[in-house]
Structure 1
Amino acid sequence: MDGEPLKQQTDIARAAALIADPSRARMLKSLADGRALPASALAGEAGVSAATASVHLGKLVEGEFVTVTRQGRHRYYRLAGPDISAALEALALIAPPLPLTSLKQSNRTNALHRARTCYDHLAGRLGVGLMAALLEHRVLTGPDGGHRAEDAVRDRPASYGRDVRYELTDTGRERLAALGVDADRLPPRRPPIRYCVDWSEHRHHLAGGLGAALTTRLFDLDWVRWGPAPRLVHVTERGTEGLRRSFGLTLVL
């Protein structure tokens, strides 16, 4: 009708084509922890030359999947936002496994399953274990943290991460405050509590502003540290004790 704003459909095929190239997919996965990496590191992760990496990164920047900043002679790339990481996680749920061709690759895959970041929050067995502990000890209320494929079929795509509701309890607010996380001062412009369906565990891990704030605090406390490769995280001895004391989480990673 006259006067109504023009409505457009989304170009899924174009977005899918950007992810479909194996080299670009490896680059995007390497950036999935939200940190910026130089082009040289991304070329190494993708196993391509610097020139080839530059072409791929140019396409990802043009498609608004990644952003780029200059520092001296170097260019640093990062994901354009958490929605890109969420899309990669969702695709990983239905993607077939890559064949393992070396012991190094096998070790890295096992490490990713144990503990990693999903953009700015924890994932893997560490992430879903933390979510389960938050629910068990009434820091959060909601479902049991399990993901049921039959429910996902009925959900509207736009409801991903929102179709079930988790809420912070008064007890949880106090526990988080004691840890140094102010639930009333979470990162702006995003839902305070969301979940992601963890691709390796097929259970929920905590996302949203609270997931980001809690993860940042765990790094600040030196309870978790970055591992030797993008996205990898490991729990320190201090973190093992702190997570047990604060949230009743006994780690079996």
Structure 2
Amino acid sequence: MLKPVESVDDSHALEHAMAAVAAAMADPSRVKMLCALMDGRAWTATELSAVADVASSTASAHLSKLVSSHLISCLSQGRHRYYRLAGQDIAELLERMMGISWRSPSAARVTTPPSLRHARTCYDHLAGEVAVDIFDAMVKQAWLTADGTVLTDYGHRQFAEMGIALNRKTRRKLCCGCLDWSERRFHLGGEAGAAFFSHAERQGWLTRVTGFREVIITSAGRLSFKKWFNNVQSAVRSGPGSGDD
């Protein structure tokens, strides 16, 4: 039996839409811009043109294509225009694509900068060695269920004791495992992951490297992670660029 015409049309429309998104990402300069925006912050066109190493006029054309494909959004503030990823779902798509792109784990470990592997942002939450070790510790200590998809009652109490307030009214998943592209293991995503990162940043447990996705775990952060997560080694030791002895 033939499918109704409208179903065929819908299927074709979806296929064309998917092809358009793929085409928007199929350019090294645009990929560089998208990767830069993975730090969760808004960037100007000038900053993104520098990241992509292209002229301002070329950057403008690239940004226009990314906006029209709904991969990024543009915010005007005064005379300035800022660009950021269109949402958490786009960040998750990019993170998964990074993982797919590194088919060989050994190749990823050799070519990925140590500082980026150690700790970095994944849009609005923590990624890298430190993040996956903290995720594993949360599962082991029963903050999370065994599959890492649910924050347990004990986990809720621990978050509250840590001083982290979770937004229970958000449409976003409260908790989920986000596959880390460099470590091939999960780190904490969802509302809980974002809230944990924001809290750690406010407490001075970590600092961002301006203009990059790298994150530096401070001495205060190492002490706090040692306290809460039973001596997670990657978080306790000084990471690349920490400046500690």
| TM-score clears 0.5 | yes
How far residue 58 of structure 1 moved from its aligned partner, in angstroms, is: 0.8
Residue number in structure 1 paired with 2:134: 130
| Rounded Cα–Cα distance in structure 1 between residues aligned with 2:61 and 2:203 | 39
Given that residues 186 and 213 in structure 1 are in contact (C-alpha distance below 8 angstroms), is that contact kept between their aligned partners in structure 2?
no
Residue number in structure 1 paired with 2:107: none
Q: Structure 2 length as normaliser, TM-score?
A: 0.83
Q: Structure 1 length as normaliser, TM-score?
A: 0.80
Residue number in structure 2 paired with 1:233: 215
Instruction: State the one-letter code of the partner of 1:14.
Output: A
Instruction: State the one-letter code of the partner of 1:239.
Output: G
What is the percent sequence identity of the aligned residues? 38
Decide which of 114, 119, 124 is 2:123's aligned counterpart: 119
Residue number in structure 2 paired with 1:86: 92
Residue number in structure 2 paired with 1:30: 36
Residue number in structure 2 paired with 1:189: 171
User: Equivalences for 1:125-204 in 2 at 5 Å?
Assistant: 125-143=129-147, 166-183=149-166, 185-186=167-168, 188-204=170-186
How far residue 69 of structure 1 moved from its aligned partner, in angstroms, is: 1.2
Instruction: State the one-letter code of the partner of 1:40.
Output: T
Name stretches of at least 5 consecutive residues in structure 1 with no aligned partner. 98-105, 144-164
1:53 matched to 2:59? The reply is yes
1:70 matched to 2:70? The reply is no
Q: Secondary structure at the match of 1:205?
A: strand
Instruction: State the one-letter code of the partner of 2:133.
Output: G
Given that residues 149 and 175 in structure 2 are in contact (C-alpha distance below 8 angstroms), is that contact kept between their aligned partners in structure 1?
yes
How far residue 166 of structure 1 moved from its aligned partner, in angstroms, is: 2.4
Instruction: State the one-letter code of the partner of 2:153.
Output: D
Cα deviation digits, residues 152-210 of structure 1 (max 9, x gap): xxxxxxxxxxxxx5222222211111111134x34611111112111000001111111
How far residue 3 of structure 1 moved from its aligned partner, in angstroms, is: 10
Instruction: State the one-letter code of the partner of 1:201.
Output: E
Cα deviation digits, residues 75-107 of structure 1 (max 9, x gap): 11000001111111111112159xxxxxxxx7x
Q: Which has the higher helix share?
A: 2
Instruction: State the one-letter code of the partner of 2:162.
Output: L
Name stretches of at least 5 consecutive residues in structure 2 with no aligned partner. 104-110, 240-245
| Rounded Cα–Cα distance in structure 1 between residues aligned with 2:205 and 2:165 | 18
